[in-house]
Amino acid sequence: MRERPPLHVPTVDGVVLGLDVAMIRAVLAVLLLGEGQRITTGRIAQALWATPPKSAMSNLRTYLARLRATLRAGSPHLATRLVTLPDSGGYLFPLTAGELDVPVFADLARRGQAQLRAGEHTAAAATLHDALTLWRGPAGQDVTATGTLAQQFADLDEQRVIATEDLFDARLAVGATAGLLQDVRALVLDQPLRDRPREQLMRTLYLAVDPAGALDAYQKARQCFGESLGIEPSRRLQLLQGAILRRDDVTLAAGPES
């Protein structure tokens, strides 16, 4: 996956506004992920630091002031989007529908997963592809945070991986295996302890008329799980290995039952 450029905000005039200070990007990320809801300074501090320093509130005031100044430099209108709520001691950054990729991605991923469960594999593949094109790299790749924001980014990355696995299942179901082997191998390298990419690699290799490669993929999964976790492969992977040995094309095409 390509390197993600620094977080940026397009102005109302279409000008890209760079934010070259990591902590200011982090503050903006907290506000944006609040999706227009009030965010207190205490919550921002918890998002940025696992253990907020004594200077946290002072630092935050500086970051917010610099964020507002940076937004104003790009567009006075954009600067008004950062709203201070003095009575409640918080901030908000109002958003309109479709402005933030996170809820758009989540909606597309849910829709694609529902289509996959309903057996609408072609539609699922298209929807999930659209969802994943919104990603340009790991969540928060260029943002500094050790508090709850780091967990939010981890949760978003987990959703991305699940959507990617769902897309691969949809592509396998419709036989769209062109280029799939390279994509699945990349996911296995990125997520070596997940079952689904290992299963998808075995199925893709078998469908590419490489049963020996599929069995080798199982043995590599077994070695990895044994060395890293001290466990045997899951029942699904074991059933898949058996199907490969039997040349059970029906099971290999559909995947083993849980």
CATH number of the domain that 228 lies in? 1.25.40.10
Q: Which of 6, 72, 86, 97 is nearest to 40 (CA)?
A: 86
- At which of 64, 92, 120 does a domain end? 92
Rounded Cα–Cα distance for residues 18 and 177 (Å): 39
Mean pLDDT of 108-132: 98
In a domain, 107, yes or no: no
Q: What's the domain range around 43?
A: 8-92
Query: What is the pTM assigned to this prediction?
Result: 0.89
Rounded Cα–Cα distance for residues 212 and 217 (Å): 9
- At which of 68, 92, 116 does a domain end? 92
Q: What is the pLDDT of residues 157-175, one digit of tens each?
A: 999 999 999 999 999 999 8
Task: Write the Ramachandran bin of 186: left for phi over 0, alpha for psi from -120 to 50, otherwise beta.
Answer: alpha
Counted domains in the chain: 2
User: What pLDDT band is residue 18 in, cutting at 50, 70 and 90?
Assistant: low
Rounded Cα–Cα distance for residues 188 and 183 (Å): 9
Q: What is the CATH number of the domain that holds 56?
A: 1.10.10.10
